[in-house]
């Protein structure tokens, strides 16, 4: 593949999913990962309380049973080796393991110092990002904090570009499903960075920014979009409500040398 896909020359770039992140990570100084429902939202809630979050890829429910079983076993081993508790699927929460990908459930769970947080999308991107690249977890709860932190640290220029990565979701066949909430959150971050002087924007980043700035009611769009309706129908409307707490957090989750997200 040539250079046509790397958005070179732009201080702010935008792509989708693990493949897009892999494509842009080669030249980016920073990856801003966005997985609103729910990985990066849950990371923000956890890091606010002082929990160190270790991302771990886990296939979604459409994966073959053998593949998912193998990944779950690997996650258990990783948590044990890391001295961490392992978050379980939302419907598997129990008194002896109350931690999950649900930000609402996590708020009610006891504090732990280290938590392995598996997910099929945002965690996959975070876990695969090269060690040399700064990685931050962005969501609607911390857009201004993330934008201010990145520009203060000198990111968002053609020399030190930020790659904003919308994690997206998956169709039943495993292919990427671009998710409205991630597009709008990416656009919100790009807009904030641009207003603080970062840039120039790649055409892809400019389009995401325009989508956000053209949305009159962000919370309603997320709640009534496909992912929001799916999560509410599964019994987790509170997770959608937390994910749309716009700019209520000043914490910027940053991946440290151990691969864990901490408060900067």
3-46 confidence digits (pLDDT tens): 677 898 999 999 999 999 999 999 999 999 999 999 999 999 99
Are 166 and 179 contacting, i.e. CB atoms less than 8 angstroms apart? Answer: yes
Rounded Cα distance between 29 and 160, Å, is 5
Q: Is residue 30 part of a domain?
A: yes
Rounded Cα distance between 172 and 60, Å, is 9
Instruction: Give the model's pLDDT for residue 64.
Output: 80
Q: Is residue 5 part of a domain?
A: no
Q: What is the CATH number of the domain that holds 220?
A: 3.90.1560.10
Rounded Cα distance between 81 and 53, Å, is 14
Rounded Cα distance between 142 and 122, Å, is 16
Are 191 and 156 contacting, i.e. CB atoms less than 8 angstroms apart? Answer: no
Tell me: the pLDDT tens digits for 127-172? Answer: 999 999 999 999 999 999 999 999 999 999 999 999 999 999 999 8
Q: Is residue 1 part of a domain?
A: no
Q: Is residue 85 part of a domain?
A: yes
Q: Is the pLDDT of residue 2 over 50?
A: no
What would the mean pLDDT of 112-136 be, rounded to a whole number?
95
Residue with the two structure tokens 């904003």: 164
Rounded Cα distance between 222 and 240, Å, is 8
Domain extent at residue 167: 10-263
Q: Is residue 4 part of a domain?
A: no
Instruction: Give the model's pLDDT for residue 179.
Output: 98
Q: Is residue 230 part of a domain?
A: yes
- 203: three-class secondary structure by DSSP: helix
Q: Is residue 237 part of a domain?
A: yes
Rounded Cα distance between 117 and 89, Å, is 10
| Residue 169, beta-bridge partner list | 177
58 confidence band (pLDDT: 50, 70, 90): confident
Rounded Cα distance between 182 and 94, Å, is 29
Q: Is the pLDDT of residue 255 over 60?
A: yes
Q: Is residue 221 part of a domain?
A: yes
Q: What is the DSSP string of 15-44?
A: EEHHHHHHHHHTT-SEEEEE-TTTHHHHHH
Q: What is the number of domains present in the chain?
A: 1
Q: Is the pLDDT of residue 87 over 50?
A: yes
Q: Is the pLDDT of residue 1 over 50?
A: no
Rounded Cα distance between 57 and 121, Å, is 7
pTM listed for this prediction: 0.95
Share of the chain above pLDDT 90, in %: 90
Residue with the two structure tokens 């998710």: 179
What would the mean pLDDT of 204-216 be, rounded to a whole number?
98
Query: In the chain, where do the E strands start and end?
Result: 12-16, 30-34, 52-57, 85-86, 114-119, 134-138, 162-166, 169-170, 176-177, 253-255, 261-263
């Amino acid at each position: 593949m040539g250079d046509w896909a790397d958005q070179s020359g732009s201080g702010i770039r935008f792509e989708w999913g693990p493949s897009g992140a892999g494509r842009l990570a080669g030249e980016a100084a920073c990856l801003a990962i966005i997985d609103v429902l729910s990985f990066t939202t849950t990371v923000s809630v956890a890091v606010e309380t002082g929990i160190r979050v270790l991302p771990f890829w886990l296939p979604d429910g459409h994966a073959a049973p053998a593949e998912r079983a193998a990944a779950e076993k690997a996650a258990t081993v990783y948590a044990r080796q890391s001295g961490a508790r392992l978050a379980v699927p939302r419907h598997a929460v129990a008194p002896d393991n109350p931690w999950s990908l649900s930000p609402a459930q996590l708020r009610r769970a006891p504090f732990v110092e280290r938590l392995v947080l598996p997910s099929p999308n945002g965690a996959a991107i975070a876990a695969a990002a090269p060690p040399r690249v700064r990685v931050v977890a962005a969501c609607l709860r911390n857009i201004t904090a993330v934008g201010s932190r990145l520009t203060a640290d000198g990111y968002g220029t053609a020399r030190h570009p930020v790659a904003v990565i919308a994690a997206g979701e998956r169709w039943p066949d495993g292919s990427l499903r671009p998710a409205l909430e991630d597009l709008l959150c990416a656009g919100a971050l790009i807009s904030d960075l641009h207003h603080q002087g970062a840039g120039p924007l790649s055409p892809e980043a400019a389009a995401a920014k325009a989508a956000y700035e053209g949305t009159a009611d962000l919370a309603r769009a997320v709640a009534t979009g496909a992912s929001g309706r799916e999560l509410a129908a599964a019994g987790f409307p509170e997770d959608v409500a937390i994910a749309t707490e716009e700019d209520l957090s000043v914490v910027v989750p940053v991946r440290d040398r151990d691969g864990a997200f901490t408060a900067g």
